[in-house]
Chains A and B, each alone.
Chain A
């Protein structure tokens, strides 16, 4: 009887521990999701900024556009951007990395930029 009770308690304990582990795994995933969605939107914002630059600016990407940290309410997220000439004339390979304390999101794209354009802000 004692042995049966011990085995029963052990089974209950194991099942409970597994259930709690499952719930906490779900929580970890739920906590990560908003961070990834936020990073994706921030990366898209940086990518659009690159896509709207002129040929001259893409060739010599200013430091303020090449890397930086996002202001509040996105403190803790930082970005790195890169634009490299593609093998095809007038095309650039664009890449944006957004990093935060627990992850990284990368966005890559190709942009066609006619040479000699300059944008006034």
Chain B
């Protein structure tokens, strides 16, 4: 007698094997999905920090002290103010950049500072942008976790090049700028814990 088709046992074994493979596959997929979500989160934080660094570096690299066509007879200034707010370093940088900003590709007046003012919606490292000094400003929150900013400038205006905590000039820009950002422990992305050093093109 010739047997045709499957017996009940064969069918059960096939179903059991298929079920086991499906369970293992689903568990692996869930594990990979979880790992993927964690990696995407880390990657997104690193991308954000890298973008902040890149933006600040690009703006400062193209900082210049030449007269802005928008500022009339007032020369655009470069200022580094060495300030403290409730015991925290709250330095401010004011400069004109020819690098592209959200306002466009022309000259932009930038004020870089740490915003702790509860009346404004922005927090942390903020850039205040305006097309010329005194014009309405656009605020851009670069990183909300920053609580301290300490800056210094490399300048040779006095003959010997040295790093200084303050700088004020209506004509010249420093050769180099270093920004150190801080926040509550573990809050700041590692890439923002690395000092942001910039060689200013117009300061050479």
A residues apposed to B, CB below 8 Å: 1-2, 5, 9, 13, 16, 20, 23-24, 26-27, 30-31, 33-34, 37-38, 40-42, 44-45, 48-49, 51-52, 54, 73-74, 112, 117-121
CB <8 Å contact, A118 and B161: yes
Please state if A30 and B36 are interface contacts (CB–CB under 8 Å): yes
CB proximity of B159 to chain A, nearest CB, Å: 11
A residues near B29, Cβ cutoff 8 Å: 20, 23
Contact of A52 among B33, B40, B154 (CB under 8 A): B154
Establish whether residues A121 and B163, one from each chain, have CB atoms under 8 Å apart when the complex forms. Answer: yes
Residues A117 and B46 in contact, CB atoms below 8 Å apart? no
B22-49 toward A: CB 8 Å interface, digit per residue (1/0)? 0001001100110110011011001101
CA distance in complex: A119, B204 (Å): 13
Q: Is B6 an interface residue (CB 8 A)?
A: yes
Is B100 engaged at the interface, CB distance under 8 Å to the other chain?
Answer: no
Write the nearest CB–CB distance from B112 to chain A, whole angstroms: 17
Contact A73:B193 (CB < 8 A) given known A24-B32, A34-B46, A44-B57:
yes
List 8 A-B pairs, Cβ < 8 Å: A2-B5, A13-B21, A20-B25, A20-B32, A31-B39, A44-B57, A49-B197, A51-B176
6 A-B pairs closest in CB distance: A34-B46, A51-B199, A73-B190, A48-B197, A120-B162, A30-B39
Are the C-beta atoms of A2 and B161 separated by less than 8 Å?
no
Main secondary structure of the interface of A (DSSP, over half): helix
Cβ–Cβ contact A120 & B161, under 8 A: yes
Check B25 against A16 for contact (C-beta < 8 Å).
yes
B interface size (C-beta, 8 A):
41
Question: Would you call B195 and A45 a contact (CB within 8 A)?
Answer: yes
B191 in the interface (beta carbon within 8 A): yes
A52 and B197 within 8 A (CB): yes
Q: State whether A119 and B162 are in contact (beta carbons under 8 Å apart), knowing that A20-B25, A34-B46 are contacts in the complex.
A: yes
Q: Say yes or no: B28 contacts A117, CB within 8 Å.
A: no
- In contact, A38 and B191 (Cβ under 8 angstroms): yes
**In contact, B199 and A52 (Cβ under 8 angstroms):** yes
Q: Using a CB-CB cutoff of 8 Å, which residues 141-182 of chain B contact chain A?
A: 154, 156, 160-163, 175-176
Are B36 and A38 touching (Cβ within 8 A)?
no
CB distance from A107 to the nearest CB of B (A): 13
Does B53 reach chain A (CB closer than 8 Å)? yes
Query: Closest CB-CB distance, A58 to chain B, in whole Å?
Result: 13
Q: Other than the known A1-B5, A33-B47, A34-B47, what 19 A-B pairs have Cβ atoms closer than 8 Å?
A: A2-B6, A5-B6, A9-B14, A20-B29, A20-B32, A23-B29, A23-B32, A23-B33, A24-B32, A30-B36, A34-B43, A37-B47, A38-B190, A38-B191, A41-B191, A112-B204, A120-B162, A120-B163, A121-B162
A1-B6, A48-B197, A52-B154 given; A117·B161 CB < 8 A: yes
Q: Indicate if B105 sits at the interface (CB-CB under 8 A).
A: no
Give min CB distance, A45 to chain B, whole Å: 6
